[in-house]
């Protein structure tokens, strides 16, 4: 089948978190991480069939769905997941918060490397844990990686949990096996549980492998809570379906206890979308990756050639570009670009002041419009 990613669909007046706030204004929204593409037709067909059934009762994952997820982990990543390790969730942010609640006690510390997806920074405090952040290092100005000296320095006996984003939102790195093995060893030596948010793992744009953290060794698996979802890859975040994979029975019991009575069930649509996406969405995903790769290349060359004072680093995964605009000397870069008709995510919420994040998960024409507005904002400063 040929998939048309060029077709722009009007998302105004659809209750979109991304488009809603700017309705009635000439502002192109490129912040919130969903894509302006329709879901794979294979998913829409499955949802239509589910609607036609007409009964939308309480749901549970079917054996077929569980087999689809374990099959996906085995085929794509060589990771043998046992069905009982899977805990279903209506969203991955819930999983991050539940993890913070399940591990350690109030007053303990949760560590993460910044900049990072903002819920990593709010979840520990939601659960009365102290937040400890350690900046990622940008080696040679091109490669974001962990700062091992600072991680060691920041660690205390109260540090019980590390929140890892792999692949990384917003810097776009796919950390390699060596980096993740070292981080996993760092955690195990200090009795720190590792939570590996791998929601972007099926959006690797370059020919590099994503290795699930827990697939590295049984010892690492026993100390890891993995969080995954079809939502970023297949553009289904509004369906609300994600899952944790927790091999260790004690850790899994603590996680289930922490979510009991608070986290609602996944809906019939969430499960139906998830199964269709993983079971039949692979040709669409491959086509998407090709499209995103071209968008990514366009963003990188545009920044290099057209935007003096803006820097970025290679983007190995995700549809998000992390732009360093510090040299522009703007006090509030997001407001400045909104004044030029473009909405971006504010780096301050990621603990990355002076940066903005641009979402290039959109038709090429929309991207060109956004890049033109970005340039207008930069040129206005000359």
Ligand X SMILES: Cc1ncc(COP(=O)(O)O)c(C=O)c1O
Give the binding site for ligand X (CB under 6 A). Answer: 33, 91-93, 117, 165, 169, 197, 199, 229, 231, 237, 242
Minimum distance between the CB of residue 220 and ligand X, rounded to whole angstroms? 20
Judge residue 10's burial from the number of C-beta atoms within 10 Å of its C-beta, 0-12 exposed, 13-18 middle, 19 or more buried. exposed
CB nearer to ligand X: give 192 or 195: 195
From the list 240, 216, 245, 219, the residue with the least C-alpha distance to 72 is 245
CB nearer to ligand X: give 43 or 307: 43
The DSSP annotation for 77-95 comes to H-----GGGEEEES-HHHH
CB nearer to ligand X: give 123 or 342: 123
CB nearer to ligand X: give 33 or 205: 33
CB nearer to ligand X: give 228 or 330: 228
Distance of CA 217 to the CA centre of its chain: 24
Minimum distance between the CB of residue 99 and ligand X, rounded to whole angstroms? 12
CA distance 199 to 232: 7
CB nearer to ligand X: give 159 or 231: 231
Minimum distance between the CB of residue 84 and ligand X, rounded to whole angstroms? 22
Residue for token pair 């998939």: 3
Minimum distance between the CB of residue 179 and ligand X, rounded to whole angstroms? 17
Q: Which helix (H) or strand (E) holds 289?
A: helix 282-306
Q: Which residues pair with 88 in a beta bridge?
A: 243
Is 117:170 a contact under the CB 8 Å cutoff?
Answer: yes
Minimum distance between the CB of residue 275 and ligand X, rounded to whole angstroms? 17
Judge residue 217's burial from the number of C-beta atoms within 10 Å of its C-beta, 0-12 exposed, 13-18 middle, 19 or more buried. middle
Minimum distance between the CB of residue 119 and ligand X, rounded to whole angstroms? 7
Q: Which helix (H) or strand (E) holds 271?
A: helix 268-280
């Amino acid at each position: 089948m040929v998939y048309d990613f060029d077709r722009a669909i009007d998302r105004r007046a659809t209750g979109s978190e991304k488009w809603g706030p700017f309705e009635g204004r000439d502002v192109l929204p490129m912040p919130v991480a969903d894509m302006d593409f329709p879901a794979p037709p294979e998913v829409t067909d499955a949802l239509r069939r589910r609607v036609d059934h007409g009964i939308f009762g309480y749901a549970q994952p079917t054996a077929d769905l569980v087999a689809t997820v374990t099959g996906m982990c085995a085929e794509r990543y060589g990771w043998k997941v046992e069905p009982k390790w899977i805990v279903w969730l209506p969203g991955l942010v819930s999983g991050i918060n539940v993890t913070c609640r399940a591990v350690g006690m109030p007053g303990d510390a949760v560590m993460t490397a910044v900049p990072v997806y903002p819920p990593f920074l709010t979840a520990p405090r939601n659960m009365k844990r102290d937040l400890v952040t350690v900046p990622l290092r940008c080696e040679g100005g091109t490669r974001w990686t962990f700062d091992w000296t600072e991680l060691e320095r920041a660690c205390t006996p109260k540090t019980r949990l590390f929140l890892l984003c792999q692949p990384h939102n917003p810097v776009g790195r796919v950390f390699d096996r060596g980096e993740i093995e070292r981080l996993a060893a760092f955690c195990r030596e200090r009795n720190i549980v590792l939570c590996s948010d791998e929601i972007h793992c099926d959006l690797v744009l370059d020919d590099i492998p994503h290795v699930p953290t827990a697939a590295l060794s049984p010892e690492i698996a026993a100390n890891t809570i993995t969080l995954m979802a079809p939502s970023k890859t297949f553009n289904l975040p509004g369906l609300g379906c994600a899952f944790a994979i927790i091999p260790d029975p004690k850790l899994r019991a603590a996680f289930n206890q922490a979510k009991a009575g608070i986290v609602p069930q996944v809906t019939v649509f969430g499960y139906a979308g998830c199964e269709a996406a993983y079971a039949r969405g692979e040709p669409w995903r491959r086509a998407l990756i090709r499209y995103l790769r071209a968008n990514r290349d366009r963003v990188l060359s545009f920044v290099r050639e057209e935007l003096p004072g803006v820097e970025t680093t290679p983007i190995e995964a995700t549809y998000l570009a992390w732009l360093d605009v510090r040299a522009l000397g703007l006090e509030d870069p997001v407001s400045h670009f909104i004044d030029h008709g473009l909405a971006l995510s504010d780096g301050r919420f990621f603990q990355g002041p002076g940066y903005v994040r641009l979402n290039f998960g959109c038709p090429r024409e929309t991207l060109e419009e956004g890049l033109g507005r970005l340039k207008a904002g930069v040129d206005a400063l000359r």
